Amino acid sequence: MRDFISMKDFTKNDILEVLKVASELEGKNSTELLKNSIVGSLFFEPSTRTRLSFTSAVYRLGGQVLGFDSPDATSLKKGESLRDTIKMTEAYSDVIVMRHPKDGAARFAADVSKVPVINAGDGANEHPSQTLLDLYTIQKEFGSIENKKVAFVGDLKYGRTVHSLTKALEMFNCEFYFVAPESIQIPEYITRELDSKGIKYTLVDDYKDILKEIDVMYMTRIQKERFDSIEEYEKVAGIYIINKESILGRCKENMIILHPLPRVDEIEIDLDETKYARYFEQAANGVPTREAIFAIALDKVDVVKESMEEKDIKKSETVVCLNEKCITKVEKTENKYVVNKNHKYCYYCNKDVK
């Protein structure tokens, strides 16, 4: 059994094993694999693609799904805690897929749950199943993930897909360009990690300067729902818009453009027909990748599991997470934090503690 909470929990070989299982399952009818398995699907936040592709993966493997796609119709409205919702769902299902607006909610759920938990997005923190399908797409396109130059463009502060993908790509010797205005640039807790590992990255505010250098352009939506005020959002809305004209003849011939979708206005539809656009293939790759995730979470396939270095996890009543959007602010957690060299960070949401 294995949880899928953060890309930090995976070694490079663990990732390659997931991708291998995904490619073995792709296009096959493996309806025996999850026969008699029930998936609890808890979406506390809206989702189309992620939820549908998880559901499609379950059906393709012969499993069953129960759950909700909005908290409105559930006891949460009556004030039920996440802890109780998880305790209840673990009795009704063999694995839980959860999306939640609070950073760190997935780690908390995994601590509470006896059945494996798959993080389908926790606030602005992580989105590991998206990362695995992004990696699957890159591997399919180039034959390997190694040594790529990747530009992340758009909302790098609130974009959880960027946070998870960066954590994974750093294991493949990739080099990064973070393209964003200052107010939504990549968070410091991520660059600090890159610095400590000696990984090369550059912060820029215009993609035109680096277009000729890169192999992958990872466009993202400005995450309107996560801004503290509409004024803040409006300052950066529509800041990067790419189209045929801005890309054709200005990039490497084999560059690919990815996007976790949904898009708003950052990629104009005239780009869809070009050979650079791969976001629809990427979305389709969500199904075999999520099939692999279920198969591994529930031990339905043999994979080589590597053990990670033990983290130095501590509990304290006095150390608090500095992130107001952390799950520790709304649930009764054990207040855990991690000590890494001289730095302390929240066990749940990865942000600094004090």
Which spans of this chain sit near ligand ASP (rule: CB under 6 A)?
A: 47-50, 121, 127, 160-161, 221, 260-262
Sign of the dihedral defined by the CA atoms of residues 320, 181, 145, 262, in that order = positive
* Minimum CB distance to ligand ASP, residue 161 (Å): 5
* Minimum CB distance to ligand ASP, residue 22 (Å): 18
Q: Which is nearer to ligand ASP, 149 or 221 (CB)?
A: 221
* Minimum CB distance to ligand ASP, residue 155 (Å): 8
Q: Which is nearer to ligand ASP, 190 or 353 (CB)?
A: 190
Q: Which is nearer to ligand ASP, 53 or 335 (CB)?
A: 53
Q: Which of 50, 161, 220, 333 is catalytic?
A: 50
Q: Which of 2, 60, 99, 157 is catalytic?
A: 99
**Any residues with CB less than 8 A from the CB of 182 and at least 6 apart, and which?**
205
Active-site annotation holds for 259: no
Q: Which is nearer to ligand ASP, 48 or 340 (CB)?
A: 48
* Minimum CB distance to ligand ASP, residue 84 (Å): 25
Q: Which is nearer to ligand ASP, 89 or 161 (CB)?
A: 161
Active-site annotation holds for 49: yes
* Minimum CB distance to ligand ASP, residue 219 (Å): 10
Active-site annotation holds for 107: no
Query: Among all residues, which ones are annotated catalytic?
Result: 49-50, 78, 99, 127
